[in-house]
Structure 1
C-alpha cells in the first residue's frame, strides 16, 4: 500500500513539474505568438476591407504575464467604414485571459485532456464605444470566445454572441437569438474549417403613418473548409443556409414565406489561375398563402489570372477614395488622373488577365412552378487583343471571342404566374378560367415567333444566340453583329407605347 501511495505521489509531483515547466515555456513564447497572430489578423482585415472602403487594424495594448496565466488587451480600430452613404469610425476593446499549457483549467473542466500550449478566453470590454451593445445583450458580453493553441500551431476556437434585443423610441424591435461559430485551423491558418448556427433573428418596424412590417429569419447555418493559397487568400468550399424567411408587408399585412434558401460556393487554384462557382437555391416561395414556385441560379468563372487580378485590385483599393469623392460630386462615370507608369501597369495587368482566356458564365437561372419550369444560361469567353488601343469595334471583336445564351421559357409556367397574379388581384378560383390562363402562354409564344427572337416547340418557347468570329447565329439564322443589333432595336422599339 505504501509503495502504491509512493508511486502515485511521484506521478503527481512529476505532472506538477511538467505543468509548471510547460506554463513557464508558454509565458516565454507568448509575446512572439501574439505578435504573429495579430500580424496575420491585420493581413486578413486588410483584404476583407477591399471594395467596401475604410480600414481596420488590430493592435496589442498590453500584456501582463505570470507563471500560469497572462492577461492581454487588444483594440480594433475601424476607420471610414461606408455604411450607406456615410463613413463611420469606431474602436472596440477586448480583454483576453490566457491560461498557459499544457493543461489549462478550462479545458480540464470540459474533459479536454489533450495538452495544448495555451487556452485563450476573450471578451468584448465595456467602454463608451460598446456600452450600448451591453444594454441590448442584457449586461452579458456581446461577443466572447475561446481558442486553444496547440504546440504544433493548430487552433480550436469557439465564438459566441448571446441573445440580444433592441427597441427604439418608436417601438420597433430587433430580436436576435444568439450565434455560435466553431472553427479549427492548422499552423498559420493554412487550412481552416468552420461551422456556425443561429436559431432566429427578427425585426418588427413601426413607423408613424405607415403600415408595420416584420421580417423573421430562422435556422441560419454556415459551414466552410478553406485552404490558404500562396497568394494569401483562401479557396475551398463554403455554404450558407436559411431554413425560412418570413416577411409581413403592406397595408393588408400579406405574408411572404421563403424556405430552404441556400448559397454554396467552391473555388480552386491551378498554377496562377482561379476557378470557382457560386450556387443559389430557393426551395419554396409562398405569397399570401398561395404557392409561387422555386428557383436556382449558378454562376461560374474560369481561368482568372491571380497575380494580375491582385495587382488591379490593389490599384483600385489605392484609388478608391478618389473615385468615391468623384462619385459624391455627382460624376456618373467617375475617373481619376493616372500617371504614365500607372497606365502602363494597369494596361499590362488587364492584358495579362485577358491572356489567360477567362470565362464568366450564368450557367443556370431557372424558375419552377407547379406545371412548368423555365431556364436561361449565358457565357462570355474573353481573349487578349493585339492592343488595347485598337478602335472600339475591333477591340471588342478581338477581346470577346464567344458569347452563348439559351432560353427555354415554359408556357405552362407563364400560365401559373398569370393565375397567381389574378388571385393576388382578388379574383376567385371560379373567376380564373383555365383556358384564359393557358392562352397567356400561347400569346407570349406567338409574340416571340413574330419577333423572330424565338421558336416554339410544344410547350416551350426557345431562343439561342451564339456569337463567334464577328458573326451571330440566332436560332439557326446567321447574321452580322450590326444586323443582330438592328433586330434587337427594332423589337425594343415595337414594345414602346405609342401616343
Structure 2
C-alpha cells in the first residue's frame, strides 16, 4: 500500500512539475508569440483592405503576466470605414484572457487533453463606444472568441457574434447570433472556416421612404484555403442561405428567395490560376407569385498570375479616382500616363501568351413550364504585335469562340404572363401575354438568327481560324456580320 501510494504521489508531483514548467515556458514565450501574431494580423488586414480606402490596425497595448495565466489588451482601429454617407473611424479594446499550457484548465474541463501552448478567451471591453452594443446583446460582450494556440504556432477555435435585439424609432434588428469555427496558423498559410447563422430580421422605418424589411435564415459559410507563393489563397469557399424574404415599396410587395448558393474554387498550376464561381437560386416568388429559379457558373482558366497581379496593381493605384467619378454619377474612366500604358500593354501581352480562357459554363433559368440555357467559351491568344489595326488585333486575340443558346418558348410565356399579372391586367390579357414565346420564336425564325426545335429557340455559334459556323452554316466573319446586321434591320418597325 505504501509503495502504491508512493507511486501515485510521485506521478502527481511529476505531472505538477510538468504543468508548472510548461506554464513557465509558455509565459516566457508568450510576448514574442503575441507580437508575431499581431504583426501577421496587421499584414493580412492590410491586404484585405487594399484598394478599399479604409485601413485597419491591431496593436498590443499591454500584457499582464502570471505563472499560469496572462491578460493581454489590444487596440483595434479602423479608419475611413464607409458605413453611411460619411466615412467614419472605429476604435475597440479587445481583452484576451490567456491560460498557459500545456494543459489549460478550460480545455481540461472540456476533456480536450492534447497539450497546447495556451488557451484564450477574447471579448470586447465595455466603454462609451460599445455601451449600446453591450445593451443590445444582453450586457455581455457582443463579440467573443475562444482559441487554443499550438506550439507549432497554429490556432483553432470559435469566434461568436452574440444575439442582438435592437429597437429604435420604429426600426428594429433581431439577430440570432453567428458562430464561426476557425483554424489555421499565424502566418496565414492555412485557413479553415465553418460558420452558421440562424436568423437575421431587420425592419428599417424612415419618414421619407417606405419601410424596408428583410428576413434571412440559415446562413452557412465553409472554406478550406491554402496560401500560395503568389500571396493569395487557393481552395474552396462556399456560402449558402436557406431562405430570404424582403418587403419594400409603397405597396410593401414581398419578395422571397429560397436556396441561395455561392461556391468558389481556386486552383494554382505553376504560375497560372484557374477560378470557378457557381451561383444558384432554387426558387423566387414576387408578390405571392412564383417566378422561377436559375444558376450561373463562370470560370477563368490559365490566367498568368504575375501579369494579372501587375494589372490589378495599376487599377488599385487609380481606385480612389475611379470611386470618386462613380460617386459623382460619371462613367469611371481609367486615365493612365505613358509609363503605365506601356506597362499595361506588356502585362496584357504576357497574360495573352498563356492562352487564357473565359467561360460562361451555364446560365440558366427555369419557370413552371420551361427552362432556358446559355453557355459560352472564349479562348484567347497572344497577337503578333500590340500595334496591329484593331480588326486584326481582335482576330488574332480570339483563338476560338463557342456559344449556344436555347430559349424555351413556354418559359418566355410564363415570364410575360407574370409581368402582365403584376401590372394588373385582366385574365384575357394575361393569356395573350402567355403567347409571347410563340411570337419570339417566329421572329427569331424569320430573322434567320435562330432555328426552332420543339418548344426551344436554338442558336449556335463557333469561330476559329477566321471562319464562322452559325447554326450549322459556314461563312466568313464579314458574311456573319452582314447577316446579323441585315437580320436586325429586318426586325425594325416600318418607318424607322
TM-score by length of 2: 0.91
1:339-354 equivalences in 2 (<5 Å): 340=339, 342-354=340-352
SS of 2:382's partner is coil
| Mapped partners of 1:129, 1:350: distance in 2 | 48
- Could you tell me which of 435, 458, 461 is aligned with 2:457? 461
Q: Which residue does the alignment assign to 2:24?
A: 24
Which region of structure 1 is more displaced relative to structure 2, 375-384 or 53-62? Answer: 53-62
Post-superposition shift, 1:437? 6.0
Q: In 2 relative to 1, CA 496–246 (structure 1 residues): closer, same or farther, beyond 3 Å?
A: farther
Deviations 1:298-319 (A, max 9, x none): 1111011112222222333234
Alignment root-mean-square deviation, CA: 2.7
Q: In 2 relative to 1, CA 428–322 (structure 1 residues): closer, same or farther, beyond 3 Å?
A: closer
Q: In 2 relative to 1, CA 450–431 (structure 1 residues): closer, same or farther, beyond 3 Å?
A: closer
Q: Would the aligned equivalents of 2:40 and 2:186 in 1 still touch at CA under 8 Å?
A: no
**2:445 is aligned with 1:449:** yes
Q: In 2 relative to 1, CA 430–438 (structure 1 residues): closer, same or farther, beyond 3 Å?
A: closer
Q: Would the aligned equivalents of 2:450 and 2:471 in 1 still touch at CA under 8 Å?
A: yes
Q: In 2 relative to 1, CA 497–321 (structure 1 residues): closer, same or farther, beyond 3 Å?
A: farther
Q: Would the aligned equivalents of 2:116 and 2:150 in 1 still touch at CA under 8 Å?
A: yes
Post-superposition shift, 1:480? 4.5
Q: In 2 relative to 1, CA 186–90 (structure 1 residues): closer, same or farther, beyond 3 Å?
A: closer
| Mapped partners of 2:209, 2:494: distance in 1 | 34
Post-superposition shift, 1:481? 4.2
Q: Would the aligned equivalents of 1:248 and 1:254 in 2 still touch at CA under 8 Å?
A: yes
Q: In 2 relative to 1, CA 78–368 (structure 1 residues): closer, same or farther, beyond 3 Å?
A: same
Q: In 2 relative to 1, CA 167–387 (structure 1 residues): closer, same or farther, beyond 3 Å?
A: farther
**2:49 is aligned with 1:49:** yes
Post-superposition shift, 1:57? 2.5
Q: In 2 relative to 1, CA 189–446 (structure 1 residues): closer, same or farther, beyond 3 Å?
A: same
1:417-496 equivalences in 2 (<5 Å): 417-426=415-424, 433=431, 436=432, 439-485=435-481, 487-488=483-484, 494=491
Q: In 2 relative to 1, CA 225–250 (structure 1 residues): closer, same or farther, beyond 3 Å?
A: same
**2:107 is aligned with 1:111:** no
Q: Which residue does the alignment assign to 2:243?
A: 244
| Mapped partners of 1:243, 1:496: distance in 2 | 46
Q: In 2 relative to 1, CA 337–265 (structure 1 residues): closer, same or farther, beyond 3 Å?
A: closer
Q: In 2 relative to 1, CA 269–60 (structure 1 residues): closer, same or farther, beyond 3 Å?
A: same
Which 5+ residue runs of structure 2 have no aligned equivalent? Answer: none
Q: Which residue does the alignment assign to 1:159?
A: 159
1:89-488 equivalences in 2 (<5 Å): 89-169=89-169, 171-185=170-184, 188-208=187-207, 210-325=209-324, 332-338=331-337, 340=339, 342-426=340-424, 433=431, 436=432, 439-485=435-481, 487-488=483-484
Post-superposition shift, 1:375? 0.3
Q: Would the aligned equivalents of 2:318 and 2:334 in 1 still touch at CA under 8 Å?
A: no
Q: Which residue does the alignment assign to 1:4?
A: 4
Q: Which residue does the alignment assign to 1:64?
A: 64
Post-superposition shift, 1:370? 2.0
Which region of structure 1 is more displaced relative to structure 2, 116-125 or 288-297? Answer: 288-297
Post-superposition shift, 1:55? 2.4
| Mapped partners of 1:151, 1:265: distance in 2 | 32
| Mapped partners of 2:146, 2:312: distance in 1 | 34
Q: In 2 relative to 1, CA 163–288 (structure 1 residues): closer, same or farther, beyond 3 Å?
A: same
Q: In 2 relative to 1, CA 300–66 (structure 1 residues): closer, same or farther, beyond 3 Å?
A: same
Q: Would the aligned equivalents of 1:148 and 1:157 in 2 still touch at CA under 8 Å?
A: yes
Which 5+ residue runs of structure 1 have no aligned equivalent? Answer: none
Post-superposition shift, 1:356? 1.0
Post-superposition shift, 1:260? 0.9
